[in-house]
A and B are shown apart, each in its own frame.
Chain A
Amino acid sequence: MNKILTIAENTFKEAIRDKILISITVVGFLLMASSKIFVPISIGQAPKIIKDFGISIVEIFGVFIVIFIGTRIFHQEIERKTIFSIISKPVSALEFVAGKFLGLYYLIVVVQILLFLIFLIFSKFYLRTIDIYLFNVLYFLLFEFLLLDAVAIFLSCFMTPLTSGITALLLFFIAHLTFYLKDLTELLKVPGLSALMNFPYYVLPNFSVFNVKSTVIYHLPLSIHSYLLAFSYSLLYSFVLIIFSSFLYSKKEFV
């Protein structure tokens, strides 16, 4: 476990000092600041629009960072040849992969909390109030990104950065919609089709379990079940993906 935490800490340190990350966070800050332009055209819907826009910025930047860094994380190690000095040390493939996964997650937690706080400050500035209920979104986002982190790491084990980035992004959007596929199959009741259409619902990560944005913005109640589902689903699915990733990684060669 110590080695996993060591690699995680190193991954975090390396990434947090990267100029690209600072640039992304600054852009996020500027975009949130620009939410003020919606106030005059919102016809009494300013609180909803500002919250919706702010949360979307936090989420989009989270997705971008996880996919951009997560899918390049191993390739960068290979390209820079830094991997040579790690693999030749007493570090197992599982320790290396889990360390990288955790390091990226530290990073995303820090960036998400930072962006969320910026959002709350702007929200206080524009709406003269802070909606504590919005913290629920952060809870679900953090578990959503844990899973997306594992997906990005898994794909980068056997794909190039570009293909794994595109696949992870497509998967993220498709996996938000698999819920509708299941509904559609139940509605159509075509034999054989249900198995085919249910496949993505059960196999692909179901990101819709983390989608509580509208519920929170409209202050609708969230059940304890949804909190537990987000927590357990994210942890379990990520664990399985990391085990698969470390297996794939253990078969890799570094020419």
Chain B
Amino acid sequence: MKILDIKSLVKIYRSPFLMKKSIGIDGLDLEIEEGEIYGLLGPNGAGKTTTLKIITGLLQPTSGEIKLFGNLGPLEARNKLGFLPENPSFYPNLTGEELLRFYAKLYNKNLSKKEAKEKLAMVGLENNINKRIGAYSKGMIQRIGFAQSIIGDPDFIVLDEPLSGLDPLGRREIKDLIVEVNGKGKTVLFSSHILSDVEAICSRVGIIIDGKMKQIGTIRDILGRETKYIEIEFEEVKEPEKFKKYGEIKIEASTNFLRIESEKTRNKVVKEIINKGGKIISVIPVKRTLEEHFINTINE
């Protein structure tokens, strides 16, 4: 079942006085299936946040079609939707517990104090339950932001840069939580600049550039099955420089590193090393990273 179906979405911003146009989204198509973790990638100003804001009802599209949960009306759809905005901000005079109980009530859910504490503990804020939000650090705001996005037990969770402002441990925890809620059948759409994180948890990604969807697919589809190069580590071979004909070689005291471009020559090289009395330490196929692909796509 499609959770989200966007067709030919256009968003044009107009400046207040001169009515000067600027295009935010330019004919974007996006489909998200139930149960996916979908990563939305793109450089700054590509239209990621605009897309997420249109999905969550903060902006109105200029034209195009957007269907959430089939044909549900905006309020019914938002009842099944959770959202974490980019650089979130919350009521500074409320405590963490009060904030979560407030948001839960907007989904017509009465959260007990115990439940609120559990939710805060889930994002690592169990020691800051009665602390006012105004005294929270950026990382803590991001964590409580994630907690509020899932407070209504939504089926579809939209996260705009959920990992920004977090330290490596915090990033790891939020990533684990995203995978955990996904394991409970929730669909997740998130934008991120941290490509290694996207690569680690997303089932599919879409790359937006200048308001247009440039590429969609699974990480494997996008990066391809081909390896970028193969690195062979070997030792105990006399005259290792003779392997230069196969590729770039780095000779160290006792170990040699040979980088070959083609998979076809791999077996031949390995066989030759063994025949010359050498010892294979490792054969590592190095694949293209999402980051490299992303940068290439932008440059294109």
Contacts and interface: CB of A to CB of B under 8 A. Distances in A.
| Tier of interface size on chain B | 20 to 34
B58 A88 contact: yes
A248 B201 CA distance: 41
Given A88-B57, A88-B81, A82 B13 contact: no
Nearest to A11: B91
Interface in B92-117: 92-94, 98, 102-103, 105-108
Contact of B53 (A2, A17, A254): A254
B78 A2 contact: no
A251 to B, nearest CB: 8
B56 A81 contact: no
Nearest to A9: B102
Contacts of A7: 106
Contacts of A88: 56-58, 78, 81, 83, 85, 158
Given A84-B88, A88-B81, A89-B152, A10 B102 contact: yes
B93 A86 contact: no
Contacts of B158: 88
A80 B90 CA distance: 8
Interface string B142-161: 00010010001000001000
A2 B93 contact: no
A92 B88 contact: no
Q: Which DSSP category, helix, strand, loop or mixed, fits chain B's interface?
A: loop
Contacts of A87: 56-58
A85 B85 contact: yes
Contacts of B90: 82, 85
Nearest to B13: A255
Contacts of B85: 81, 84-85, 88
A87 B60 CA distance: 12
A80 B91 CA distance: 8
A113 B111 CA distance: 32
A124 interface: no
Given A18-B93, A85-B90, A88-B78, A2 B108 contact: yes
B79 A84 contact: no
B87 interface: yes
Contacts of B289: none
A114 interface: no
A13 B89 contact: no
B281 interface: no
A236 interface: no
A145 B148 CA distance: 34
Contacts of B79: 90
Contacts of A14: 91, 93-94
A219 interface: no
B6 to A, nearest CB: 17
B91 A10 contact: yes
Contact of A90 (B13, B75, B87, B145): B75
Nearest to B55: A88
25 contacts: A2-B105, A2-B108, A6-B102, A6-B105, A10-B91, A13-B94, A17-B93, A82-B90, A84-B88, A85-B83, A85-B88, A85-B103, A87-B56, A88-B78, A88-B83, A89-B107, A90-B75, A90-B78, A90-B106, A90-B107, A90-B152, A253-B58, A254-B53, A254-B58, A255-B13
Interface of A: 2-3, 6-7, 9-10, 13-14, 17-18, 80-82, 84-92, 253-255
Given A84-B58, A87-B57, 14 more contacts: A2-B108, A3-B105, A13-B94, A14-B94, A80-B91, A81-B88, A81-B89, A87-B56, A88-B57, A88-B81, A88-B85, A254-B53, A254-B59, A255-B59
